Amino acid sequence: MTNHLPEAFHSPLLGWLTITFFLTASVVTYLKRIDQHKKVGALPAEAPSAPTWLFTLFALIEFAAKIALIVLNWQFGLILYALGFVLASMPVLETVGSLLMFPFVRTVLPDDSFDAAAGDDPFLQSIVLPAKKRHFAVKLLWIVAWYVGLTILLNHVVRRMDAASPFLWGLAILQVYMYFYIFTLSYVRLRECSSKVAWSVGFLAVLGRVNDYELLIIPAVVLTALIISGVQRLPEPLAEAEPSLTEDG
């Protein structure tokens, strides 16, 4: 079977189609999430959403971009579909979509976190906490793996191939997004664990963009976040005050 992937990175048309696909997929994913949350009652029925014609327009453009990518280079198109599925499950696409639609639709998606599911029930918290730790570890390592893959692709494959500029821009933007997503996710988890080192994550994120410091900083931050998350314990329940004894007469 002939490998057509190298040809895709030399095509400006495929580059612009790729950017169009991800931008429209982001908007469509965000609008779909709003409707899904409305159906299950997580959002009120009157929560703002995009008009049907606007959703249909973005959906048609996304569909047209998919067809064009398959027709022009089916191998490259299938890889983009797989990447789009991964980014939707992280969820990267709905986050980007909410930013793109912010001037028009400002509906905040409800919190689907483990804390929201457990509430204040100590028993549910004891069940949810181990699952929360595993979910965080898998998600963080998955994002790091994608960041490493994108970095290798951008630095050692695409640039050496003298790829079309849309690919360079798109991959560079996605790489930076993944980079800061690693630190944001770690910071949020460290704050949840009431860690005293959470404040340093932002400083390290900026420092990591200097020279090649990220080769040391990313593993250090990831390992620290995984360890602190792994040893987190449930807060001790408040002891009930004993009733005071009073003596008669």
Task: Find out whether 174 and 87 touch, Cβ atoms under 8 Å.
Answer: no
What is the pLDDT, as a whole number, of residue 172?
A: 82
Measured between alpha carbons, how far is 70 from 62 in angstroms, rounded to an integer? Answer: 13
Measured between alpha carbons, how far is 219 from 215 in angstroms, rounded to an integer? Answer: 7
Q: Is the pTM of this model over 0.95?
A: no
What is the pLDDT, as a whole number, of residue 249?
A: 46
Measured between alpha carbons, how far is 239 from 180 in angstroms, rounded to an integer? Answer: 41
What is the pLDDT, as a whole number, of residue 57?
A: 95
- Give the residue extent of every domain in the chain: 1-110, 114-234
DSSP 40: T
Cis? peptide before 130, omega within 30° of 0: no
pLDDT < 70 stretches in the chain: 1-5, 111-125, 157-163, 234-249
pLDDT digits (tens, 9 = 90+) for 53-106: 999 999 999 999 999 999 998 888 888 888 888 788 777 888 888 888 988 888
What is the pLDDT, as a whole number, of residue 114?
A: 58
